[in-house]
Amino acid sequence: MTSRPLLAAFAAVSLALAACGPGISSAPDTTTTAAPTATEAPAVSTGGPPRFEGERAYEHLRQLSSVIGTRVAGSDGERRGAEYVANAFTAMGYSVETTEFSFAYELSTAEVVAGGKTMAASPLSGSGAGTVTAKAVAVGNGSEAGVAGKPLAGAIAVAERGVVFGDVHDRVRAAGAVGLIMLNSDGGSAEGNLGKKVEIPVVMVDGDAREAVRTAARDGGSLTLTVEQTTTVTSRNVLARPAKGQTCLLLVGGHMDTVPGAPGALDNGSGTASVVELARAFAADGLDAGLCFAAFGAEEEGLFGSAAMVKAMQQANALPRAMINLDMTGLGTVDLVGNADLAQQAENLGKELGIKAMRTTWPNNFGSDHMSFQKAGVPSLTVATSELGKFHTPGDVLATIDPSALEATGDLAYALIAQAWKRVAQA
């Protein structure tokens, strides 16, 4: 359905303000254009019929979520995702620009080494930074009874989730722990907030990492815990135009980045992969002047990528006449959020195609990239799924995607884009 709850993003932003001083810039403060480089070869590039093919989108999704994996803003994974998408667009004949932008943001990533294996972890909001290697000590759920008498001096405390994170931290820290790992509950969100800034690294683990850490804590084994933090993030957008410098009349986009720890199959490998396949489908019988495709970076931290693209297009006096965004398209039925006219068109097309699509609104703390264009006065719509699946968790993997939902949502997006493009081109 959507992306990161924006309230959580704002909480992290205020933390950055408190911790670091400099004000958050809502718009990018620097932009440079980098030439795309070839590292990932798109598995499915050109050819095929002028219609959306779910199998092709699924293969792009496999590359993004399983081969590349987690694509946090500013990370190597996001850069590789951008290169993959840029190479795919280039192979279809588009003129492709990859544009970097920077923004002030406190971003943390984490990993745990347990049993000789390095695994992703989710830093809790407010965690300290650094690397510690120490003996793992289990403290139950981190209650007073669990912590009492445990040999925590210089150790990494391991707690089952269940007690207020900040309180668990305070107890184990007072007993001398140098790190804290929370074992997530089954199906719980991997995100957590300590409610304050602390000195030691504090993370949540899930899946294989959770089992490895639990085993180490039971056996008194050693763990390595790393939390890395940055305060300026440099991310990138990829924009495919039919010809160099051509104004985009209709822009189709989706965000390629993920939250830390999540491979982002549904959020938003599915939408990004569908945008790539839509670009191919519309290029199959020749490029359409004014129909552009984009992959945005840094959506999860607060729509920074789409805001950067809007700003650049405004400066060039070349905003699109309409924008269609795909965010989470591989589960359930179709939800339509944004411009009422575009939503109505999509709903009508859904009826013709036998695809259930419904106009809806999101809670105030949800958002996606169509909002950046909408704010600039561009009629904009997000095509999304009705189900959230395991979004924003390590469980957001390819196996959770429903290929038939990916196909249906892509089919509907294709029909909507074809209709919207005719309208904007004639306007």
Contacting positions for Zn ion (CB under 5 A) = 3-4, 267
DSSP category for residue 124:
P
Work out how close the CB of 70 gets to Zn ion at its nearest, in angstroms, rounded to a whole number.
12
Nearest-angstrom CA–CA distance, 13 and 195: 13
Within 13 Å and on the Cβ side, how many CA atoms surround 125? 19
Distance between CA atoms of residues 238 and 81, nearest Å? 10
Which of residues 105 and 282 has its CB atom nearest to Zn ion in the complex?
Answer: 105
The identity of residue 225, as a single letter, is: L
Smallest separation (angstroms) from Zn ion to the CB of 131: 28
Give the C-alpha separation, 210 to 182, whole Å. 9
Helix axes 340-353, 403-426, angle to 10 degrees: 130
Shortest reach from residue 88's CB to Zn ion, in Å? 22
Nearer to Zn ion, 396 or 407 (CB): 396
Minimal distance in Å, beta carbon 247 to Zn ion? 30
We find the least distance from the C-beta atom of residue 277 to Zn ion, in angstroms, to be: 20
Burial class (CB in 10 A: 0-12, 13-18, 19+), 37: exposed
Residue nearest to Zn ion as judged by C-beta position = 3
- 3-class secondary-structure state, position 298: coil
User: Which residue do the tokens 């990993």 mark?
Assistant: 111
What φ, ψ does residue 151 adopt, rounded to 5°? Answer: -75, 75
Q: How far apart are CA 29 and CA 40, in angstroms?
A: 29
Q: Are 368 and 19 in contact (CB under 8 A)?
A: no
Task: Give min distance, CB of 396 to Zn ion, in A.
Answer: 9
Three-state DSSP state, 243:
coil
Smallest distance, Zn ion to C-beta of residue 362, A:
12
- C-alpha 184/C-alpha 12 separation (Å) is 20
Please report how close the Cβ of residue 66 comes to Zn ion at its closest, in angstroms: 18
Q: Of 3 and 409, which CB lies nearer to Zn ion in the complex structure?
A: 3
* Owner of token pair 């190597």: 76
In this complex, which beta carbon is closest to Zn ion, that of residue 150 or of residue 390? Answer: 390
Distance CA 316, CA 94 (A): 20
- Least distance from Zn ion to the Cβ atom of residue 179, Å: 27
- Name which of 172, 11, 26 is nearest 102 in CA terms: 26
- The residue with tokens 């909480």 is 11
Reading the block at residue 396, the tokens are 């957001």
User: Which amino acid, residue 165?
Assistant: F
- DSSP class of residue 153? T
Least distance CB 409 / Zn ion (angstroms): 16
| Integer CA distances (angstroms), 417 to 104, 282, 337, 411, in order | 34, 9, 15, 10
Q: Are the beta carbons of 30 and 102 closer than 8 angstroms? A: yes
CB of 3 or CB of 70, closer to Zn ion: 3
Nearer to Zn ion, 4 or 161 (CB): 4
Is the preceding omega at residue 268 within 30 degrees of 0, hence cis? Answer: yes
Q: How many residues does the chain have?
A: 427
Smallest gap from residue 2 Cβ to Zn ion (A): 7
Residue among 2 and 99 whose Cβ is closer to Zn ion? 2
